[in-house]
Amino acid sequence: MVQSLKPKSENTSPGAPVPGRAWLMLALATIGFAVNFWAWALLSPLGPRFKTGLDLSSFEQSLLVAVPVVVGSLGRVPVGALTDRFGGRVMFPIVSAVTIVPVLYLGLAGHSSLAALLAGGFFLGIGGTAFAVGVPLVNSWFPPERRGLAIGVFGAGMGGTAISALTTVKLVDANSMATPFLITAGALAVYAVAAALLLRDAPGRTVPAEPLARRLASTLRLGITWQASALYAVAFGGYVAFSVYLPTYLKTGYGLTQADAANRMAGFVLLAVAMRPIGGWLSDRLGPVRVLAGSLGVVVAGAVAQSFTPALAPVGTIAFLAMAAALGAGSGATFALVAQRTPADKVGSVTGVVGAAGGLGGFLPPLVMGSLYGEYGTYAAGLALLAVVAAAALAYTLTGVRGGDRAPRTGRGRRQRTAQTAG
C-alpha cells in the first residue's frame, strides 16, 4: 500500500544535488507565503482595540479574529486542487492580487463596525489559502529525501503573522488605522508582479487529467489525507489559535499592555516559525512519527502547566515557548509525512484538505477560550482541553499512523536497498 502512494515521477535522481533554481523557487514561494500570511493576520493584533472601540464582547472579539482563519482554511481545498491543475506560477499571483481588495477595504472603510469588519475579514481569508499553493509548488521541485526540509522552510513563511504582530499596532499608533493595511497592500502588489515574472513550475510537473470533483473525491479516499488532517488540526491549529488569541489572553489574563502582549505573541510565532524547518529536517532523518510524538508530548506538558495560570516569569513564559517550539516542529513533521506518502499529482489536493483541517483547528479554540473566560473568568478550562486534545493526538500518532517511521528515503538508503535487492 505504501509503495502505491509514492509519487509516480521525480525531477531529481536519487542522491543528485538539488539545482539552484529549485532553491530560488523555494525562496520566492516562502516570501509569497509570508506576505499573504501578513495580510491574513492583520486583524488579530487590533482585536483588543476593536473590542474597546466598538464595545465588543469577548465572543465577538474572538469571532472577529477567527473569521479570516476559517475562510482561509476552507478555501485551501479548492485552491489546492486548482494548483494541481494550473500550477503555482498561475495561482500565487492570483491569490496575492485578490487579497489586496479586502486589505484596502479594511484599511480605508471597513473598520467602523463589527459587521464591516466581519465582511472584510471574510474575504481577507483568501490570503490564508496561499499555503495550498506553495506546498505543491515546492514539493515538485525537490526529491523525496529533501522535501521535509524544503517544505519546512516554506512553512516558515507563516512568520508573516509575526510581521503583523510586530508592526500593525505601532503603525496605527504612529500614523492612522489605514497605514498598516496600505503598506501590506503595497507588499502584496509587488509580490504579485514579481511572482508573475519570476515564478516557475518544476519541469515535468504532473498535471492531473481528472475533473476537479473527481480529484477531490479520490483525495478523500487516501488514508494519508485523514491521518495528516487529524495531526495538523492539532499542531498547526494550536499555532494558529495562539497566534490570533495570545494578545487577548496575555492582556486579559496577565494585565499586559496591548503592545507588550503583541510583542510576546511575536516571540511565540518566531520560535514556532524557526522550528518548522527543523521539524521537517528531523523528519527526513528520524521519521515524521517520532518527531510528531515528541512534539505532542511537549504540548501536553506545556498546556497542563499553563492551565494552573502560573506566574508569567519564568514558568508561564517557559510553557508558552516550549509549546511554540513543539507546535512548529509538529507542523513541519506533518507535511514531511504528506510529502513522503502522497502521489505527485495529488499533493495540492491533499495539502488543501490538510491545510483546511489545520486552519479549522485554529478556528475553534479562540471561540472556546473566549466563551469559557466569559463564563468562568479564567482560561484554565480551555488550556486543560488543549492538553486533552494533544494527548489524544499523541496516542493516535503512536497507534494509528502506519508507515510514518520507516527509514528516511534518502538517495543513499535507496541505493543500498537497490544493491541488496540486486544481490
pLDDT value of position 422: 29
pLDDT value of position 16: 59
Residue 165 near residue 247, CB atoms below 8 Å: yes
Mean pLDDT of 363-386: 80
Count each helix (H run) and each strand (E run) in the chain, helices first.
18, 0
Whether residue 405 is predicted with pLDDT greater than 80 in this model: the reply is no
pLDDT value of position 252: 83
Whether residue 418 is predicted with pLDDT greater than 70 in this model: the reply is no
Q: How confident is the model at residue 120 (pLDDT cuts 50, 70, 90)?
A: very high
Of 29-43, 214-228, 280-294, 404-418, the least confident: 404-418
Mean pLDDT of 81-108: 93
Whether residue 11 is predicted with pLDDT greater than 60 in this model: the reply is no
Of 11-15, 17-21, 83-87, the least confident: 11-15
Higher pLDDT, 197 or 401: 197
Mean pLDDT of 333-355: 84
Q: How confident is the model at residue 13 (pLDDT cuts 50, 70, 90)?
A: very low
Whether residue 144 is predicted with pLDDT greater than 60 in this model: the reply is yes
Q: How confident is the model at residue 339 (pLDDT cuts 50, 70, 90)?
A: confident
pLDDT tens-digit series, residues 167-199: 888 899 898 889 999 999 999 999 999 999 999
pLDDT tens-digit series, residues 286-317: 889 999 999 999 999 999 999 898 998 899 99
30-39, 158-167, 330-339, range with greatest mean pLDDT: 30-39
Q: CA angle at residue 294 from 289 to 298, to 5 degrees? A: 145
Whether residue 127 is predicted with pLDDT greater than 50 in this model: the reply is yes
Task: Tell me the C-alpha to C-alpha distance, in Å, between residue 75 and each of 125, 211, 274, 366.
Answer: 8, 18, 26, 20
pLDDT value of position 413: 40
pLDDT value of position 156: 86
Whether residue 271 is predicted with pLDDT greater than 80 in this model: the reply is yes
Is the bond preceding residue 143 a cis peptide, omega within 30 degrees?
A: no
pLDDT value of position 335: 85
Cα(238)–Cα(358) distance, rounded to whole angstroms?
A: 8
Mean pLDDT of 395-405: 74
The percent of residues above 70 in pLDDT, for the chain, comes to: 91
Mean of the per-residue pLDDT values of the chain: 84
Whether residue 327 is predicted with pLDDT greater than 70 in this model: the reply is yes
Task: Tell me the C-alpha to C-alpha distance, in Å, between residue 307 and each of 281, 315, 382.
Answer: 31, 11, 8
pLDDT tens-digit series, residues 232-245: 999 988 887 787 77
Q: Which residue has 507542523 as its cell numbers?
A: 331
Whether residue 341 is predicted with pLDDT greater than 60 in this model: the reply is yes
Whether residue 415 is predicted with pLDDT greater than 50 in this model: the reply is no
Q: Tell me the DSSP string of 5-41.
A: GS-S--SS-TTPPPPHHHHHHHHHHHHHHHHHHHHHT
pLDDT tens-digit series, residues 38-65: 999 898 888 888 888 888 887 788 788 8
Q: How confident is the model at residue 90 (pLDDT cuts 50, 70, 90)?
A: very high
The percent of residues above 90 in pLDDT, for the chain, comes to: 35
